[in-house]
Structure 1
Amino acid sequence: MILEIVSPEAKLFSGEITSITLPGVDGSFQILNNHAPIVSILEKGVLKIVTSSTNENLTKFNKVDGQTYTLNINSGTIEMKDNKVIVLVD
């Protein structure tokens, strides 16, 4: 699935991922390929992505292992539709 993460300052990431875990207002949740369409509000916490391959354009992220990266966010929104995830973070 395709992921785009955008902040007010810049696009933080755009590329292919395997999964994303997000800090929702009712608790963390994970989105995988072919997930049902969803729109949700995010709260302060850790956003975790697993990429399809090693990715070098994740400079704002903390590397957990070869394909797993995390990013601390204060708030945001997410939309998932047709295997494309768009995350707006603050």
Structure 2
Amino acid sequence: MFLEIVTPEAILFSSEVDSISVPGIDGEFQMLNNHAPIVSMLKGGTINIHVHSQQHLKLEELSSKLTPHAGDSKILRLEIISGTLELNDNRAIILAD
């Protein structure tokens, strides 16, 4: 699935991913390829971006706010204050603060 994370200042992430875990207002949930369409509010917490590998990512071009997970090199993390998620046709857009 394709993921784009946008803040008022910049596009923080834009790439193909395997899955996304987000802090929904009713609890954390994960989305995989071919997930049903969804729109959700996000609360403060951590977005976990699961990539097949980081080889195709240019980490120096990604926001310094994205950090690799200490225990798994296939997970990138982003702390947010709040946000909105829309997923439709394997394309997810997160508007984050």
TM-score, normalization: structure 2?
A: 0.88
Structure 1 residues without counterparts, runs of 5 or longer? none
- 2:21 aligns with 21
User: CA offset at residue 51 of structure 1?
Assistant: 1.3
Misfit runs of 4+, over 3 Å: none
In the alignment, is the contact (CA less than 8 A) between 2:65 and 2:79 conserved in 1? no
How many positions carry a matched residue from both structures?
Answer: 90
**Of the candidates 72, 93, 96, which is equivalent to residue 89 of structure 1?**
96
Q: Which has the higher strand share?
A: 1
Q: Which residue of 1 aligns with 2:76?
A: 69
Q: SS of 1:71's equivalent?
A: strand
1:34 aligned counterpart, secondary structure: coil
TM-score, length of structure 1 as denominator length? 0.94
Deviations 1:8-50 (A, max 9, x none): 0000000000010000000000000000000000000111001
* Uncovered stretches (5+) of structure 2, i.e. residues with no partner: none
Aligned partner of 2:31 in structure 1 is: 31
Identity percentage of aligned residues: 52
Say whether the 8 Å CA contact 2:23–2:29 is kept in structure 1: yes
CA drift at 1:66: 2.0
> Which residue of 1 is the match for residue 53 of structure 2?
53
